[in-house]
């Protein structure tokens, strides 16, 4: 089954404690991206990757890091989480970057206290 898998689904952490949210896709997609979704603000793109070792900033990259060492994986790293990063996070992948449908993961609800 074609899917995008995120882990964990729920996470509560404390300010400053480094964390990683994993994302894996099994569709051999080139393009992957991370979004955060907040009430009233909608989905905002954090980072995206057009292929292995190629990443770029989206609209809200501050406080986040990503890496793309393998085509299937695109982890999101919060090196020093702060309460304003409390949000619902989605990973997505698509066959290519331009004009193609994206498949989304189930989401990770992160709370930073």
* Site for another protein contains 1 (CB under 8 A): no
Q: Which of residues 2-31 bind another protein (CB under 8 A)?
A: 4, 31
82-109 exposure pattern, b = at least 16 Cβ within 10 A, e = fewer:
eeebbbebbbbbbeebeeeebbbbeebe
Under rule CB under 8 A, which residues in 60-89 are in contact with another protein?
none
The correct pick among 14, 16, 26, 56 for binding another protein (CB under 8 A) is 56
Report yes or no: 7 and 37 within 8 Å, Cβ to Cβ.
no
Cβ neighbours, 10 Å, residue 2? 10
Contact between 53 and another protein by CB under 8 A: the answer reads: no
Span near another protein by CB under 8 A; candidates 19-27, 50-58, 61-69, 79-87: 50-58
């Amino acid at each position: 089954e074609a899917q995008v898998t995120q882990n964990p689904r729920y996470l509560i952490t404390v300010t400053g404690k480094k964390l990683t949210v994993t994302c894996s896709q099994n569709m051999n997609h080139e393009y992957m991206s991370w979004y955060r979704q907040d009430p009233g603000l909608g989905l905002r793109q954090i980072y995206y990757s057009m292929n292995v070792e190629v990443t770029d900033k989206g609209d809200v990259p501050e406080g986040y890091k990503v890496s793309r060492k393998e085509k299937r994986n695109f982890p999101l790293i919060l090196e020093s989480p702060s309460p304003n990063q409390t949000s619902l996070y989605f990973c997505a992948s698509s066959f290519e970057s331009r004009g193609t449908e994206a498949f989304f993961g189930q989401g990770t609800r992160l709370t930073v206290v």
